[in-house]
């Protein structure tokens, strides 16, 4: 009985894998996406782990800047596919999806429409969701609730759905923020719509609604693809808690409530999956719970607010250790290493808020203040190997790492660094 990430970690072309393995689940991603690409939220497997190697040291002034570009508002992260780097952002009053040559920074195409979202708290009016690229299509989800399929080649619109209007979805506290998951022929989103449209599966080719599930409000966590007992599954962490679904029909397989008691709260960190276990973590006095799945039942292994209370950044799991930010973003959170099996805190480093991914035996940590830290992925102690100021403040978007290049952005600048 295993719940595992859907795709193997390999650099072989997926067309070869589909033919040689004869396993249909391996064919769900597009064959033009290479193992070194970063095609969606948190990378190829949505786990924040790269199969590439990075250097152990940096020059005195930090990693070399290969290219940079001016960008607008938003917390949407960059993605890299087939030599293109794409970003969804908001310069001025435009909602823009833009593609650059990933190596040179030459602009390849730009799609724009008028931006309509206004943040109720005055923090940021740009898009929150990171695009997903599948089969030469770019799927974006704007802060005002528009799900759009664009051509990867030239950026023309293939189809678009206004979820706020068509499914009576509510923007919640901070706008629509779910990073699309493409699984088989379905694009999965948390939207918190009316009449059972809490989580929705849209047809990849047409944008038509394939299925709807739950009456829950939307959370801010991105859904994860997994496999359980030989069946493809979608693992969601919405405002109510865990929801595990069949992606073909939208049938709810497992639920587990996990949310803060206070109304002014959100679930924002995505689920973390290993074997037949799922970790959920949130802030607001609730903390983390490790769940063991058995058929349709989810049973807690350990839980507590004192272990890992993630406000918005998804923890990273590597070799039985969780590396994640503990505490509210506005209250100077720390980076922690937590033992997956027991919830025991191994170490705690006062760094502030940020995002994290891993390559080789190293962690790459982008702090919200724009500092990039290279650290050892060591469960015994926190060891900094190098650090450099690479961006300005409010660098909350998840970076990308592909073909030896790191891509990160704040609210005005995008940089490509050589690692």
pTM for this one?
0.91
pLDDT at 356: 96
The pLDDT of residue 29 is 42
DSSP string, 333-351: -EEEEEETTT--EEEEEE-
- Which tokens belong to 248? 């073909």
Residue reference for tokens 């063991």: 292
Identify the pLDDT of residue 32: 47
Asked if 323 and 356 count as a contact pair (C-beta separation under 8 A), the reply is yes
Q: Is 258 in contact with 241 (CB distance < 8 Å)?
A: yes
Task: Name all domains of the chain by residue range, CATH numbers in brackets.
Answer: 3-418 (2.130.10.10)
Give the pLDDT confidence score for residue 34 in this predicted structure.
Answer: 53
- The pLDDT of residue 35: 53
Burial class (CB in 10 A: 0-12, 13-18, 19+), 95: buried
Q: For the sheet with 3-5, list strands across it.
A: 3-5, 224-228, 231-237, 241-245, 252-257
CB contact at 8 A, 280 and 287: no
pLDDT of residue 222: 97
* pLDDT at residue 328, rounded to an integer: 92
* Rounded-to-integer distance, Cα 25 and Cα 42, Å: 20
Find the farthest-apart pair of alpha carbons in the chain and give their distance in angstroms, rounded.
Answer: 57
pLDDT at 330: 85
* Number of Cβ within a 10 Å radius of residue 217: 20
Coil vs helix vs strand at 212:
strand
Other CB atoms within a 10 A radius of the CB of residue 299 amount to 11
Note the pLDDT of residue 205. 97
**Which pLDDT does position 69 carry in this prediction?**
98
What is residue 127's DSSP assignment?
A: -
Predicted pLDDT of residue 329:
87
| Residues of the chain below pLDDT 50 | 1-32
């Amino acid at each position: 009985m295993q719940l595992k990430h859907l795709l193997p970690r390999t650099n072989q072309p997926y067309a070869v894998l589909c033919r040689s393995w004869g396993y249909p689940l391996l064919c769900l991603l597009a064959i033009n996406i290479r193992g070194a690409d970063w095609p969606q939220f948190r990378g190829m497997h949505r786990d924040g782990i790269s199969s590439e190697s990075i250097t152990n040291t940096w020059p005195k002034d930090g990693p070399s800047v290969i290219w940079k570009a001016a960008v607008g508002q938003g917390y949407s992260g960059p993605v890299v596919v087939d030599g293109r780097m794409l970003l969804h952002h908001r310069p001025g009053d435009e909602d823009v999806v833009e593609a650059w040559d990933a190596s040179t920074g030459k602009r390849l195409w730009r799609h724009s429409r008028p931006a309509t979202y206004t943040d109720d708290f005055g923090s940021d009016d740009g898009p929150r969701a990171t695009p997903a690229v599948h089969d030469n299509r770019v799927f974006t989800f704007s802060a005002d609730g528009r799900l759009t399929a664009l051509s990867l080649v030239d950026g023309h619109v293939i189809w678009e759905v206004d979820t706020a209007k068509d499914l009576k979805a509510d923007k919640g506290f901070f706008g629509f923020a779910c990073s699309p998951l493409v699984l088989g022929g379905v694009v999965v989103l948390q939207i918190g719509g009316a009449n059972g449209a809490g989580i929705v599966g849209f047809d990849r080719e047409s944008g038509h609604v394939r299925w709807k599930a739950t009456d829950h409000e939307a959370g801010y966590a991105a859904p994860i693809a997994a496999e359980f007992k030989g069946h493809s599954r979608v693992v969601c962490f919405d405002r109510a808690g865990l929801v595990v679904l069949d992606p073909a029909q939208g049938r709810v397989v497992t639920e587990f409530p996990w949310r803060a008691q206070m109304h002014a709260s959100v679930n924002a960190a995505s689920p973390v999956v290993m074997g037949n276990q799922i970790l959920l973590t949130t802030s607001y006095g609730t903390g983390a719970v490790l769940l063991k799945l058995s058929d349709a039942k989810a049973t807690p292994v350990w839980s507590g607010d004192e272990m890992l209370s993630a406000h918005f950044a998804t923890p990273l799991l590597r070799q039985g250790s969780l590396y994640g930010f503990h505490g509210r973003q506005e209250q100077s959170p720390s980076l922690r290493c937590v033992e997956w099996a027991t919830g025991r805190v191994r170490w705690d480093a006062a760094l502030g808020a940020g995002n994290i991914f891993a390559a080789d035996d190293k962690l790459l940590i982008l702090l919200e203040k724009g500092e990039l830290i290279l650290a050892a992925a060591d469960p015994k102690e926190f060891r900094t190997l190098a650090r450099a100021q690479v961006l300005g403040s409010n660098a909350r978007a998840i970076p990308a790492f592909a073909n030896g290049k790191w891509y990160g952005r704040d609210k005005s600048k995008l940089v490509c660094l050589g690692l």
